[in-house]
Amino acid sequence: MPPHTRSQAFVYSKSVVINRYITVALRRAHYELLENSEGFYGSIPDLAGVWAQAATLEDCREELKSALEDWLLFSLSGQHPIPVMDGIDLAIREVA
């Protein structure tokens, strides 16, 4: 397999794993209706700092997904620990 094809395959498989992680994490999300018709609040309990607030539940879900994606990119780029969810481990490891 040419080198560029291997690299493309690696990127594709990593993005599939990240997408699965996002799906699993969002299934763990908790949403609540805020008082005084102020909208909705959503968070993912296992991921500190991943939360969103929006006027509608659907907008809150979208905002939470965006916050999760940003959090993952930040964590991966800084090699910060990311909790394993349903056996999906996104930790970056050195390969010998």
Q: Is 44 helix (H, G, I), strand (E, B) or coil?
A: coil
CATH number of the domain that 46 lies in?
Answer: 3.30.160.250
For residue 94, tell me if it sits in a domain: no
Render each residue's pLDDT in the chain as its tens digit; 96 residues: 455 555 444 444 566 899 999 999 999 999 999 999 899 999 999 999 999 999 999 999 999 999 999 999 999 999 899 999 999 999 877 766
Give a yes or no: residue 91 inside a domain. no
Please check whether residue 40 lies inside any domain of the structure.
Answer: yes
CA distances from 53 to 30, 58, 62 (A): 12, 11, 10
Write out the residue range of the structural domain in which residue 15 sits.
3-77
Instruction: Note whether residue 89 is domain-resident.
Output: no
Would 90 be classed as within a structural domain? no
Q: Is residue 93 part of a domain?
A: no
* Residue-level pLDDT at 37: 86
Q: What is the pLDDT of residue 26?
A: 98
Residue 92 domain-assigned (yes or no): no
DSSP structural state of residue 59: H
Residues 13 and 20: their CA atoms lie apart, in Å, by 11
Beta carbons of 48 and 41 less than 8 angstroms apart: no
* pLDDT value of position 10: 45
Residues 6 or more apart in contact with residue 68 via CB below 8 angstroms:
22, 25, 26, 44, 47, 50
Instruction: Domain count for the chain, please give it.
Output: 1
- Quick one: tokens of 91? 């930790």
In a domain, 25, yes or no: yes
**Token pair 């690299």 is at which residue?**
7
